[in-house]
């Protein structure tokens, strides 16, 4: 189950965790012999940042055109003056302001806030491998920051393990349990009174399924208990998130944490949530269903209109029920963890906020009698600001959204926490034009220590800016000149407002129709209203029934239902972009209007913005939070587009994929059909490499025109992201005409104008228009726009559309600007433009490979003002990129699996035929090499042009070969390059037979001088034993990344290490490339070696297939046992993967091949090494390579 789906389980709930032990009957109400000692805490979410909750960034980029702030688009549209969508939401902004939960200062403040009211612990959500990677997920700095906080002594902590993502069951005992044990060793880890550490399962049923059922769960719990007790601790107190059941108990859990919903459907014999308490719903902030285009016909509109639960509802509803349970259930240990702190969006229900202050924490402290004496002592001795004033004010508006003329009651109390009685008065400051109708309890005389007095103010709402927060402050005086204040607010609304539910992904530039449900809200306190409304759209668009409707007898604070749906029809040829639909409501002589957005996308643009709606695609498992999940259970998982796409292939040559590959597989493929050839086949496909074990979404741009059959009208597309079981998450599929690497990529601006249509993301939306451009937000200094391509791409062209291109004044065309790239430590200029006056610029540069790019504006226009105005910025280059993980790039061979016969292939001294026998490795055809007239005859393909385009560097090379008769031990896969008047060969050699296919593969560093003609380089396969036939299939040459540092020793022996020998750089014999090679001398034993530690790289890139190579040469004679090895240390032992060859002292020998690397548990060390195992004479090494295949 995904993190998002788990979070859905807590929607419409106020939750608290209560431990129900099995030592007593589950539902018995047993009185305790003595007063309960309470351990009350908060469940702390660790996903309010774009590292852990990856979809936040993509959500705000796609819907709100901004990615520099993961919640910015949602927050601004909810809190800025409106109305927007559902109307104003009385947000409960954290009292600390909007924050990034990855910052140490944030956690420090949160600890102080919780401790100030006597809370005893935080229960941290702890995610493992939610986005892949075989590790605890990034973005959980909140937990790390707690352990590093100077205030951690004030608050204990424990873990709630969230089972999610795609990881093997073996991770539990080998990786997860050791990590849990390390947490529990912390002296601040929370324990039962008798010393048992708490541990909680969230989504235990998912975990149970992963482990293989009840027996697997039982075994996993036993492993956890054993590891904890082996570390010298008591056996843990383990809870399940299920309702009490015998199965979990028999599997080894000690208690349960009920999800206490409003309907009391918890299985308990008395209500745990009472007194009609409503609840705060974070769903609008999550983006799930916001702003109204998810979850079926209801469109999640109720997520935006539920008023936040008030502290008093919590105080008199949830908390007494929880206290009663703790008091009557001895095995609960007086422990409860309440939802939630730092919950997605507004910080969490019980967290101090701008609407209710510390109201929820005050209620918890009062009901459970929590002492904050340790906190008081600490802040006093350390000179910190005390967050718990000696005179406490608590107030809340009865309705935080009101209409002019209504009344709002600001009610609360003053509590004397000083050591003596106080006397004073309370007063209220309200907005100008509002009036105080009445008050009560404002004067207090001799209010005793520890006593409280209720205070109430009734205010008549006056005029003001609609949809804005109107601040209200209560001031209480005491002790003569002392005073304390409490601030809250009321949002001023108009009597009627409405929303047209936006249509997303159903409207494209080719035209189409969509339903537009309309809802109208009466914001008055109790006045029944009737009226009419109309919807109007852009010229040429049509709306059924003229977009007109009516409503009658709509009660105060009520919405119309969603049955009023209209059909919107958009004409073909409509440009992509956001368009306004105007809703006009008429009630008597009053008219109210609101603007609602509808989005038109390019014909080939597909995203998934409606939960549960696959948007016409098939093959995936679920759509949630803008992500289309594909959980592959076989060796050929794929997703399939809608049929009859009708896309012009010539005008749309590129496919951009936004995906996250959580598997270890890196082989991807795209198939397509056309109207003239409507069947899928290998010939109509392209293969490419993707990264594995992704922690983040990555973007791939595939040039489909590399396959000549991408022509005519594209009917359907099939995407095979992996060729083995695994999980892949899709965020978008764009079939487009530009190949723009920056299209809809992640954008970070220096500043934003913050007006709709001028956000940073508009500069990469593929649309040039006056309402689709980035305008900077500062009138001083330089401006920049950072583009994250999600992986390194070799960029060789960039374009910028300026203000004039959008139809605005050419005087605003950008004058001086640069294209920069990030080299890992600083920004470097790639190109610069000065004195520009043109509406658009299109420039070529020498290819530069980088992931982060930046448009840097130094003079934004023709001396008009200092605002930058960029309509569109585009980057172009190689498709796809060589990935930062070392995975391969684009396949440079044409027809590599011979599905198009022998087209593109050439021969020397033999003939070739495309045949179907023996059974192919891939597809339906192989090539037969026959009628051979000499031993070194070959089948090959000229690749000079392709190598020139890709450039010198590291290439993965492979071919599957099979003999027609007998075993042949000298079969070669070769890249031969002609330069300097001679041919230079890079060969991999293997043994083939007639009984099956053999893959011959390796990796080379290809280099040359001068210019290559196409026939100056050839990829070839030959069988060098005799002239009998052989077969070839599934050949490949792809550029990749050599991850070894200083692989050719041009920087001496930096990054290299040795064992039982001395390494130095030499110039003789002549190095393979460059100026130096490494000599291994002074060897004291046979298996001495020169090598490089690679554990961090392998741990990051995961298990799988890797190519290794080195050029090796003997110092004296022939040595038959030279080795290139990857040595892995895990499980307390070394494990080697080796290729072996024969070297001599007359020339260099290329030793290369493919190794499969796998390990269990923690990879403690890994070494790439080269050795000569015959004797202790010296040897020489050059041009070493390690690359993931």
DSSP string of 1034-1082, one letter each residue: EEEEEE----SSSTT-TTTTTT-EEESSEEEEE--SPPSSSS-EEEEES
Residue with the two structure tokens 């259970």: 633
Q: Take residue 448 and report the two structure tokens written for it.
A: 């005793």
> Could you tell me which residues come within 8 angstroms of residue 471 by beta carbon, excluding any fewer than 6 positions away?
431, 487, 488, 489
How many CB atoms neighbour CB 124 within 10 A?
Answer: 23
Per DSSP, what are the bridge partners of residue 784? 856
- Residue 889: inside a domain: no
Q: Take residue 748 and report the two structure tokens written for it.
A: 């970070």
Q: Interior CA angle at 1143 toward 1142 and 1149, to 5°?
A: 105
Q: Based on the fold, state whether residues 289 and 365 are members of the same structural domain.
A: yes
Distance from chain centroid for Cα 960:
37
**From start to end of 909-1010, where are the E strands?**
911-915, 926-930, 938-942, 953-963, 968-979, 982-992, 998-1006
Q: Based on the fold, state whether residues 529 and 648 are members of the same structural domain.
A: no
CB 695 within 8 Å of CB 138: yes
Q: Based on the fold, state whether residues 206 and 321 are members of the same structural domain.
A: yes
Three-state SS string over 472-536 comes to EEEEEEECCCEEEEEEEEEEEECCEEEEECCCCCCCECCEEEEEEEEEEEECCCCCCEEEEEEEE
Of 381, 413, 446, which residue constitutes the final position of a domain? 381
Residue 263: per-residue pLDDT: 24
Q: Which long-range contacts (CB under 8 A, 24 or more apart) does 206-213 make?
A: 206/1, 206/163, 206/164, 207/161, 207/163, 208/251, 210/163, 210/169, 211/169, 211/172, 212/169
CB 1087 within 8 Å of CB 1173: yes
- Residue 898: inside a domain: no
| Closest of 696, 856, 876, 852 to residue 799, by C-alpha | 876
Query: Could you tell me how many residues make up the chain?
Result: 1189
- Return the SS3 of 207: helix
The dihedral over CA atoms of 293, 296, 299, 301, expressed in degrees to the nearest 10, equals -150
Per DSSP, what are the bridge partners of residue 968? 992
Residue 266: per-residue pLDDT: 32
d(CA 572, CA 682): 34
Distance from chain centroid for Cα 217:
29
Q: Based on the fold, state whether residues 343 and 467 are members of the same structural domain.
A: no
- Residue 67: inside a domain: yes
DSSP labels, 661-708: E-SS--EEEEEEEESSS-S--TTSEEEEE--SS-SS-EEEEEEGGGST
d(CA 362, CA 781): 46
pTM of structure: 0.67
CB 278 within 8 Å of CB 303: no
CB 499 within 8 Å of CB 87: yes
**From start to end of 723-861, where are the E strands?**
726-736, 746-749, 774-775, 783-801, 816-822, 827-833, 840-859
Q: Which residues of 1126-1135 are buried (b: 16+ CB within 10 A; e: fewer)?
A: bbbbbeeeee
Range of the domain at 806: 746-877
Q: Based on the fold, state whether residues 77 and 205 are members of the same structural domain.
A: yes
Q: Based on the fold, state whether residues 486 and 503 are members of the same structural domain.
A: no
Mean pLDDT, consecutive 10-residue segments, the chain of 1189 residues? 37 41 32 65 79 61 59 57 47 80 94 98 84 62 94 97 78 93 97 94 88 94 98 94 80 68 28 28 38 32 52 82 79 82 69 92 95 97 97 94 95 96 97 97 96 98 88 95 95 85 66 82 90 94 94 87 78 84 94 82 79 77 66 78 93 89 83 91 81 79 86 95 82 87 86 74 85 83 90 90 93 96 93 96 92 95 89 84 36 86 93 92 87 95 90 88 94 94 90 91 88 94 95 89 87 90 94 91 94 81 81 94 93 90 93 84 88 95 89
Q: For position 462, which CATH number holds?
A: 2.60.40.10
If one counts the domains in the chain, the total is 7
Look up residue 934 and give its DSSP letter: S
Residue 48: per-residue pLDDT: 66
Q: Based on the fold, state whether residues 528 and 594 are members of the same structural domain.
A: yes
Residue 1007: per-residue pLDDT: 87
Q: For position 1033, which CATH number holds?
A: 2.60.120.260
Q: Which residues of 263-280 are buried (b: 16+ CB within 10 A; e: fewer)?
A: eeebebeeebbeeebebb
CB 388 within 8 Å of CB 114: no
- Residue 1052: inside a domain: no
Q: Take residue 908 and report the two structure tokens written for it.
A: 């020397």
Which contiguous run of DSSP H or E holds residue 1013? Answer: none
From first CA to last CA, the distance across the chain in angstroms is: 30
d(CA 121, CA 452): 27
Of 858, 877, 896, which residue constitutes the final position of a domain? 877
Q: Which residues of 704-721 are buried (b: 16+ CB within 10 A; e: fewer)?
A: bbebebbbeebbbbbbbb
CB 1045 within 8 Å of CB 1051: no
- Residue 899: inside a domain: no
Q: Take residue 881 and report the two structure tokens written for it.
A: 């990129």
Of 456, 474, 493, which residue constitutes the final position of a domain? 493
Q: Based on the fold, state whether residues 803 and 727 are members of the same structural domain.
A: no
Which contiguous run of DSSP H or E holds residue 360? Answer: helix 359-368
Residue with the two structure tokens 């009920």: 258
CB 964 within 8 Å of CB 936: no
Q: Based on the fold, state whether residues 153 and 209 are members of the same structural domain.
A: yes
Question: What values do phi and psi take at 875, rounded to 5?
Answer: -125, 140
Q: Based on the fold, state whether residues 368 and 424 are members of the same structural domain.
A: no
| Closest of 690, 649, 688 to residue 672, by C-alpha | 649
- Residue 1045: inside a domain: no
Look up residue 234 and give its DSSP letter: P
Residue 815: per-residue pLDDT: 96
d(CA 1189, CA 1137): 15
Q: Based on the fold, state whether residues 317 and 169 are members of the same structural domain.
A: yes
- Residue 1046: inside a domain: no
- Residue 883: inside a domain: no
Q: Based on the fold, state whether residues 1118 and 1152 are members of the same structural domain.
A: yes
The number of CA neighbours under 13 Å toward the Cβ of 255 is 26
Q: Which residues of 977-1012 are buried (b: 16+ CB within 10 A; e: fewer)?
A: bbeeeeeeebbbbbebbbeebbbbbbbbbbbbeeeb
Q: Take residue 73 and report the two structure tokens written for it.
A: 């688009």
Which contiguous run of DSSP H or E holds residue 1023? Answer: strand 1017-1023
Helical axes 214-230 vs 177-184, angle rounded to 10°: 40
The helices-and-strands tally (H runs, E runs) of the chain is 17, 65
Q: Could you tell me if residue 511 is left (phi over 0), alpha (psi between -120 and 50 degrees) or otherwise beta?
A: left
d(CA 348, CA 125): 13
Residue 820: per-residue pLDDT: 97
């Amino acid at each position: 189950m995904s993190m998002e789906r788990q979070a859905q389980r807590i929607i419409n709930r106020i939750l608290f965790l209560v431990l129900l032990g099995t030592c007593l009957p589950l539902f018995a109400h047993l009185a305790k012999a003595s007063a309960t000692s309470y351990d009350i805490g908060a469940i702390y979410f660790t996903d309010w940042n774009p590292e852990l909750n990856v979809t936040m960034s993509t959500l705000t980029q796609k819907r709100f055109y901004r990615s520099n702030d993961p919640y910015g688009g949602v927050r601004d549209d909810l809190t800025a003056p409106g109305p927007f969508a559902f109307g104003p939401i009385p947000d409960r902004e954290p009292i600390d302001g909007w924050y990034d939960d990855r910052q140490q200062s944030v956690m420090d403040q949160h600890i102080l806030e919780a401790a100030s009211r006597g809370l005893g612990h935080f229960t941290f959500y702890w995610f493992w491998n939610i986005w892949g990677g075989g590790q605890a997920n990034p973005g959980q700095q909140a937990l790390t920051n707690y352990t590093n906080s100077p205030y951690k002594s004030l608050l204990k902590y424990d873990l709630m393990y969230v089972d999610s993502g795609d990881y093997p069951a073996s991770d539990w005992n080998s990786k997860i349990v050791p990590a849990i044990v390390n947490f529990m060793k912390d002296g601040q880890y929370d324990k039962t009174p008798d010393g048992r550490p708490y541990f909680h399962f969230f989504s235990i049923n998912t975990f149970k399924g992963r482990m293989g059922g009840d027996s697997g769960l039982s075994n996993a719990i036993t492993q956890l208990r054993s590891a904890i007790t082996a570390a010298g601790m008591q056996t843990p107190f383990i809870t399940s998130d299920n309702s009490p059941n015998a199965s979990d108990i028999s599997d080894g859990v000690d208690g349960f944490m009920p999800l206490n919903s409003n309907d009391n459907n918890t299985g308990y014999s008395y209500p745990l949530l009472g007194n009609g308490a409503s609840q705060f719903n974070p769903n609008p902030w999550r983006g799930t269903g916001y702003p109204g285009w998810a979850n079926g016909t209801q469109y999640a509109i109720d997520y935006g209109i539920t008023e936040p639960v008030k502290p008093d509802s919590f105080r008199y509803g949830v908390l007494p029920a929880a206290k009663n349970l703790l008091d009557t259930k001895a095995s609960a240990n007086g422990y409860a963890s309440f939802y939630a702190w730092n919950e997605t969006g507004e910080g969490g229900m019980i967290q101090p906020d701008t609407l209710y202050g510390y109201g929820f924490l005050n209620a918890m402290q009062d009901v459970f009698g929590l002492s904050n004496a340790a906190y008081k002592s600490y802040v006093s001795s350390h000179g910190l600001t005390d967050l718990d004033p000696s005179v406490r004010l608590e107030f809340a508006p009865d309705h935080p959204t009101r209409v002019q003329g209504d009344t709002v009651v600001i009610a609360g109390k003053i509590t004397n926490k000083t050591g003596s009685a106080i006397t004073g008065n309370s007063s209220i400051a309200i907005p100008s034009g509002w009036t105080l109708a009445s008050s009560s309890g404002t004067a207090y005389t001799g209010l005793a220590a520890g006593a409280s007095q209720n205070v109430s103010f009734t205010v008549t709402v006056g005029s003001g800016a609609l949809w804005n927060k109107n601040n209200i402050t209560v001031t209480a005086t005491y002790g003569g000149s002392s005073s304390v204040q409490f601030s809250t607010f009321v949002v001023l609304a108009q009597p009627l407002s409405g929303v047209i539910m936006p249509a997303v992904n159903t409207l494209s530039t080719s035209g189409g129709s969509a339903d537009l449900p309309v809802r109208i809200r009466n914001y008055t306190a109790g006045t029944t209203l009737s009226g009419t409304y109309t919807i109007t759209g852009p010229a040429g668009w049509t709306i059924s029934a003229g977009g007109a409707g009516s409503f009658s007898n709509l009660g105060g604070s009520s919405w119309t239902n969603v049955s009023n749906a209209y059909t919107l029809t958009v004409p073909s040829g409509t440009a992509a972009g956001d368009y306004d639909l105007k809703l006009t409501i008429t009630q008597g002589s009053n008219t109210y209007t609101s603007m609602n957005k509808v989005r038109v996308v390019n014909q080939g643009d597909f995203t998934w913005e409606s939960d549960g709606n696959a948007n016409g695609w098939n093959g995936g498992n679920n759509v949630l939070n803008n992500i289309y999940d594909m959980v592959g259970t076989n060796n050929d998982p794929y997703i399939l587009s809608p049929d009859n796409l009708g896309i012009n292939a010539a005008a749309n040559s590129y496919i951009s994929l936004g995906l996250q590959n959580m598997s270890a597989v890196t082989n991807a493929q795209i198939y397509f059909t056309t109207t003239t050839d409507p069947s899928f086949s290998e010939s109509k496909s392209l293969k490419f490499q993707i990264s594995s074990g992704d922690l983040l979404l990555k973007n791939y741009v595939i040039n489909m025109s590399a396959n000549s059959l991408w022509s005519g009208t594209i009917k359907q597309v099939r995407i095979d992201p992996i060729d083995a079981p695994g999980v892949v998450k899709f965020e978008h599929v764009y079939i487009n005409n530009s190949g723009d690497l920056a299209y809809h990529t992640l954008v970070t601006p220096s500043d934003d104008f913050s007006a709709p249509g001028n956000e940073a993301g508009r500069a990469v939306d593929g649309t040039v228009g006056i309402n689709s451009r980035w305008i900077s937000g500062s009138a001083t200094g330089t401006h920049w726009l950072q583009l994250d391509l999600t992986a390194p791409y070799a960029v060789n062209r960039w374009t910028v559309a300026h203000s004039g291109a959008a139809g605005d004044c050419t005087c605003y065309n950008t004058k001086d600007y640069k294209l920069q790239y990030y080299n890992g430590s600083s920004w470097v200029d790639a190109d610069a433009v000065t004195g520009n006056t043109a509406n658009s610029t299109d420039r070529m540069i020498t290819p530069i490979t980088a992931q982060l790019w930046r448009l840097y504006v130094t003079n934004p226009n023709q001396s008009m003002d200092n605002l930058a105005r960029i309509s569109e910025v585009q980057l172009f280059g190689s498709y796809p990129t060589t990935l930062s993980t070392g995975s391969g790039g684009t396949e440079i061979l044409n027809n590599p699996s011979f599905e198009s016969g022998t087209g593109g292939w050439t021969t020397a001294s033999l003939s070739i035929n495309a045949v179907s026998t023996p059974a192919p490795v891939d597809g339906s055809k192989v090539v037969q090499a026959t009628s051979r007239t000499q031993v070194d005859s070959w089948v090959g393909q000229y690749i000079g042009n392709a190598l020139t385009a890709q450039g010198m560097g590291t290439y993965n090379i492979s071919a599957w070969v099979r003999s027609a008769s007998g075993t042949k031990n000298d079969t070669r896969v070769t890249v031969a390059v002609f330069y300097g008047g001679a041919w230079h060969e890079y060969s991999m050699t293997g043994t083939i037979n007639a009984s099956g296919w053999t893959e011959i593969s390796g990796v080379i560093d290809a280099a040359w001088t001068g210019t290559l003609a196409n026939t100056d380089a050839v990829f070839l396969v030959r069988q060098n034993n005799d002239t009998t036939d052989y077969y070839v299939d599934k050949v490949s040459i792809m550029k990749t990344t050599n991850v070894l540092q200083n692989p050719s020793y041009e920087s001496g022996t930096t990054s290299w290490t040795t064992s039982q020998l001395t390494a130095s750089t030499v110039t003789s014999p002549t190095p393979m490339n460059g100026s130096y090679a490494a000599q291994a001398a002074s060897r004291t034993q046979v298996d001495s070696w020169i090598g490089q530690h690679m554990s961090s790289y392998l741990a990051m890139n995961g298990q799988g297939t890797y190519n290794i190579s080195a050029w090796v040469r003997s110092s004296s004679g022939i040595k038959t046992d030279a080795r290139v090895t990857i040595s892995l240390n895990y499980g307390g032992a070394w494990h080697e993967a080796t290729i072996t060859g024969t070297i001599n002292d007359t020339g260099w020998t290329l030793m290369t091949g493919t190794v499969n690397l796998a390990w269990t548990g923690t990879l403690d060390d890994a070494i790439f090494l080269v050795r000569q195992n015959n004797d202790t004479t010296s040897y020489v090494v050059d041009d070493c390579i390690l690359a993931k295949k």
